Structure formats: structure tokens, C-alpha cells
Amino acid sequence: MMRIGGAALVLMMGIACGNMFLRVLWVPIKGSYELVGFLGAVVTSFALGYTQSKRGHIAVDIVVSRYPKRLQEFVESLNDLVCGLFFAIIAWQVGKWATTVWRTGEVSETLRIPFYPFTYGVAFGCGVLALVLFLQFLKALIVPLGRITMGPYRLMMDSLRQRNRRKR
């Protein structure tokens, strides 16, 4: 996804720069505003999941940074869960909207490019972000639940640890 997003970014910059230079010659690129908008949606949505996996999103933690370490971890994992639910709902609703746009045959004004592929791309990017957030939430559960000495949770945690050791 990052390669597609990176290629879209390079193409978007090329269109924007080319349009600026060609405007001097009174020959602007037709539909450049539409193309840059579509490519911007691809760049943004395809970068969401990767950026979250690297914890690269901006976080304001003025209050939370003063909490004890365990409470900070709890708040961060709760944030991952809530944001994961939020972006799962966004992915679902944008996907529904993309289907509506596809069925109605809506196209861009100048170049007559269909909207739905880009809308599905945004839904996919939000879905990947939701998945990354849910995985980070589950990963945060492994440490506290690992302290449980008996029961089904302990069996689950032991099997997760064994899988992680095999992967290394």
C-alpha cells in the first residue's frame, strides 16, 4: 500500500508542477484539480495503516504523560480499541457510500472519471487502519494477561507466546 501511495504522491506532484509550468504557456493540464484530489485521497488513505503501525501519528499526551506507566499503557490500549471501532465504522460507511456512487454511475465533472474506485480505496485504507489499531489493542493485552496464573486466559496467552516464539 505504501508503494501505491508513494507512486500516487509522485504523480500528484508531477501533475501539480506540470500544471504550474504549463499555465505560463497558457496550456494548463485539463482536470488537474480533479486528478490531484483523487490522488490525494489515495495517498492519505493508503498511508494511515502504515503510519499507525509505526506509531507515527501525532498524539497529545500532556495529561496522560503524568500518569503512572501502567495507567498510560491502559489509556493507550483503550484509545487503540476506541479508534479501531471508529475507523471500522468509517470504513463500513465509506464502503456503503462507494457502492451507492458506483450504482449511480457518478463521475468527475471535467475528465468523467468514476468516483467509486477512489472511494473504495479510502474505505480500504480506513479498514486497514482499523485492523492495525485492533491488533495493537490485542498486543497491549498480552502483557497484563500474561500475569494470570490459571484458567482459559492463561492457556490462550501461552499459545500466543508459543506462536510468537516460532515466528522468531
Average pLDDT over residues 4-17: 95
Check if the beta carbon of residue 94 is closer than 8 Å to that of residue 122: yes
Distances (CA, A) of 135 to 77, 89, 126, 143, 168: 10, 16, 14, 14, 18
Per residue in 33-81, pLDDT (tens digit) is 999 999 999 999 999 999 999 999 888 888 888 888 888 888 999 999 9
Domain boundaries, the chain: 2-167
- Write out the three cell numbers for 20: 504550474
Q: Is the pTM of this model over 0.85?
A: no
CA 38/CA 1 separation, integer angstroms? 16
Per residue in 107-154, pLDDT (tens digit) is 999 999 999 999 999 999 999 999 999 999 988 887 655 555 555 656
